[in-house]
Chain A
């Protein structure tokens, strides 16, 4: 790191002032004027004698995501040198489009040898990656005559995921039976709008729920109940096994990456649902279902950073039975699964059937990586088509996605409204 030196010469002008005052005082025989010159010279001499700082500054930046959708940023500034730094000014390199909500990314202090100070502030969690510049550090001597400035490496400089979530229309999974996204009407009585039943009045029932018409007719108090409403729970299961890392051409986008794009679209399209995420790699990487902006940011981060989704898969395909067991154990009882897979092997089709047969509704979004160029690819194409038909015969809806992006595929299939 190289420091840029600036000499301010803040007090240099005092010398000519003293050289004017001293003769004036001598000529006018005024000791007070001469002593004014002495004061000026004293300050100028101090400024000249102040040693220029030799800074050795270490900076460390940390990001911590908070539950309220903001990010707490802390920047620790440490004087690594053996001499004190009397005047240190630090400005953290916050991106221009990042809003600081609380605190300040600036610091002005003095640092003893080995001492450190931490500046803390909070920024809005960005929708996409923001790169922080290295903090700008200015170190001055005691008199402010010499200033050294440099950008000091602070380590972590990237905040947020690599891509924003796409805009998407609301998506309904299992369209024939699931209905449109939004509050699901349950079968039990509770808070809601749809009529459920009338029962005998119980002490403590709200007066607004009392059936006053019946009371007027019969004289009996009764209470109207409504069907409970709850948000649907959907777990997106992205197939990232080696068998799913296939593409129609060597330079084409892989089916796994298409599946990730579809998952990102679903995270937005299922805004009214509690959405979870499971990534099938060598094991199951799991994010429990949830709602809200912070949760969506968490899903987005996992989709962008999960090693199984960003690096080419290695090794053999894992056995499906343990994956099914893990998924079944972690999936909430009332949740449905959305399996995002190219359906290029029998194992994943078997997994979908087993889970669906086990009582967890399953729907499949399947980007088609197969081609018909030659007998081998044509055979793979036919086998995949057979798997799609088998699943549909088993009552599992399959979105067979052959072209366009995920949003178009959902619209074409009627899954988005």
Chain B
């Protein structure tokens, strides 16, 4: 079944329709992640490249370009840890990058399906959910790290990741 869509600009309406609100949220997220990652020159370059790829993939509906942009943004934020960023800032950057990726994906879908519908509220709800989930995950991870007084060996954290992956697999 082909999905019908209506051409943008054919009808009068608010400017916050279709994918526009999601694009704005994605832009905010990408800028925040870039800001966090901009502690080293390589980190800044990677973050800018990621933001550009995310934007290009959104405008031209290239899923691989978007995913590459998202991965670059996350990588840039992680690279910021080597520039001396505190852990909360790195986690905040990671959450912002995930919000940017979510907004970009959502904007493409909304633009294709309901380009003239008012979507601001829906985007706030759905991307807000992503923000909440990522923040909770970051908070739990950071809490676990702090409970271990920050002295827990890195392999322990790796085990935590593996355990989370296994939990995710069990939920399939």
Contact of A38 among B10, B98, B126, B161 (CB under 8 A): B161
Q: Quick check: which of B39-47, B50-58, B73-81 contacts chain A, the rest being far away?
A: B73-81
A residues less than 8 Å from B122 (CB atoms): 87, 108-110
Q: Are A104 and B74 in contact (CB under 8 A)?
A: no
Which of under 10, 10 to 19, 20 to 34, or 35 or more describes the interface residues of B? 35 or more
Q: Does A154 contact B (CB under 8 A)?
A: no
State A218–B38 Cα separation when bound (angstroms).
99
Interface residues of A in 1-58 (CB under 8 A from B): 4, 8, 10, 13-15, 17-19, 21-26, 28-46, 48-49
Q: Are A89 and B82 in contact (CB under 8 A)?
A: no
| B82-117 interface code vs A (CB 8 A; 1 in, 0 out) | 100101001100110010001001100110011111
Q: Does A138 contact B (CB under 8 A)?
A: yes
Q: With A22-B161, A143-B130 in contact, is A45–B116 under 8 Å at CB?
A: no
For residue A21, give the distance in angstroms from its CB to the closest CB of chain B: 6
A residues less than 8 Å from B91 (CB atoms): 32, 35-36, 39
A residues less than 8 Å from B119 (CB atoms): 108
Q: Are B90 and A142 in contact (CB under 8 A)?
A: no
| B125-167 interface code vs A (CB 8 A; 1 in, 0 out) | 1100110011011101110010000101011011011101101
State A100–B71 Cα separation when bound (angstroms).
42
Q: How many A-B residue pairs have CB under 8 A?
A: 186
Q: With A36-B74, A102-B12 in contact, is A91–B90 under 8 Å at CB?
A: no
Q: Are B71 and A13 in contact (CB under 8 A)?
A: yes
Q: With A33-B81, A89-B117, A143-B130 in contact, is A42–B136 under 8 Å at CB?
A: yes
Q: With A32-B81, A33-B81, A43-B130 in contact, is A48–B172 under 8 Å at CB?
A: yes
Contact of A32 among B78, B95, B140, B160 (CB under 8 A): B78
For residue A149, give the distance in angstroms from its CB to the closest CB of chain B: 7
B residues less than 8 Å from A10 (CB atoms): 102, 105
Q: Are A38 and B141 in contact (CB under 8 A)?
A: yes
Contact of A86 among B109, B126, B142 (CB under 8 A): B126
Which of under 10, 10 to 19, 20 to 34, or 35 or more describes the interface residues of A? 35 or more
| B50-72 interface code vs A (CB 8 A; 1 in, 0 out) | 00000000000000000100110
Q: Does A201 contact B (CB under 8 A)?
A: no
State A373–B172 Cα separation when bound (angstroms).
83
State A144–B1 Cα separation when bound (angstroms).
19
Q: Are B140 and A41 in contact (CB under 8 A)?
A: no
State A38–B168 Cα separation when bound (angstroms).
12
Q: Does A169 contact B (CB under 8 A)?
A: no
Q: Are A41 and B78 in contact (CB under 8 A)?
A: no
A residues less than 8 Å from B140 (CB atoms): 38, 42
Q: Which residue of A lies closest to B115 (CB)?
A: A106
Q: Are A17 and B165 in contact (CB under 8 A)?
A: no
Q: A14-B98, A86-B129, A144-B126 are in contact. List 18 more A-B contacts (CB 8 A).
A: A4-B1, A13-B71, A24-B78, A25-B78, A26-B155, A33-B81, A35-B141, A38-B138, A38-B140, A40-B98, A41-B165, A42-B134, A45-B171, A91-B4, A94-B6, A104-B11, A106-B114, A110-B122
B: residues with CB less than 8 A from A are: 1, 3-6, 10-13, 17, 67, 70-71, 74, 77-78, 81-82, 85, 87, 90-91, 94-95, 98, 102, 105-106, 109-110, 113-119, 121-122, 125-126, 129-130, 133-134, 136-138, 140-142, 145, 150, 152, 154-155, 157-158, 160-162, 164-165, 167-168, 171-172
